[in-house]
Amino acid sequence: MTTSSETQKLIVITGASTGMGASAARELARQGFHVLAGVRRDHDADAIRSTGIEPVILDITNSEQVAALAARVAHDPRALHALVNNAGVQVNAPVEALPMAQWRQAFEVNLFGHIAVTQALLPALLRSKGRVINISSIGGKVAMATYGAYAGAKFALEAVSDSLRREVAPLGVQVVVVEPGGVRTEMATRGIAAANHLAAQMTPDQDERYGSLVQATNTLMASGTASGLTADAAARVIAKAVTTRRPRTRYTAGRDAALIMRLTRILTDRTLDRILAVNLRRHYPKGATPAYRG
């Protein structure tokens, strides 16, 4: 929980229209912070606006909107306690079949946009000795089949977080990574729809190679999401990273995330490949033969 001296400090949360971002905005506002909640559309702003939550129109890939956010923070007499880089987009397709424009878009939203917002707000965070909370994923440690673009950006975000932490720790700014597993949000639903749209654009040869894999991955994603954390539970982990006086450098959110993170530290790549393949195999369409047999 926050102390009385922390109340009414500013928090910036990107991607706050739904899911973890919206839940984190509500939780931190409840704890006494004034939350600048980044949303992309006016109707999303109307939906989240409430006591302690001030919506800000923000597409993190739009330099003018990022600059406007920085100006909003700079002109507020309250200190900026934390930036929560939460905005993201789910992109799932085989490496061979994902168009380069989609690769670039995935990195623009899931990596470069976060860097742009961080650069814009670091002067305020340096003045307040605040912190940066980067929302990564178990995909930032393990890249499953069809997750190349998404995991690639998250792996990069993990590396940037490490570098930034070592740069600004001597200046009093803390950098924390939150790594959720399956979370029941709209992002996964949109991700499955996007994966099906991309799959429909594959060539016949690509469809023969990867069609069943995409179906299995979508089924696994839906299953993991349905059994995952609620957005409110994930938001409590984010709030802990924001408010704990001496936070860890990384927090997992969900039992699946904690398990996978432990496995990555003790298993060889080949062993992990086999475990992932066995787990995916049961989600293949009936009669389909997985390309990877483990």
Is 150 in the active site? yes
DSSP H helical ranges for the chain: 19-30, 42-48, 63-74, 100-107, 113-128, 148-168, 186-199, 204-226, 231-243, 255-266, 269-281
Three-state SS at 34: strand
Which residues are registered as beta bridge partners of 175? 132
- Tell me which of 150, 210, 251, 284 is the catalytic residue: 150
Q: Is 116:63 a contact under the CB 8 Å cutoff?
A: yes
Side-chain-side CA neighbours of 247 within 13 Å: the count stands at: 26
Which residues are registered as beta bridge partners of 229? 183
Which tokens hold the place of 128? 């307040």
Annotate 121-135 with three-state secondary structure: HHHHHHHHCCEEEEE
Residues contacting 95, CB < 8 A, separation 6+:
148
Residue 54 to residues 78, 237, 258: CA-CA distances in angstroms?
14, 22, 33
Three-state SS at 233: helix
The residues that are catalytic are: 150
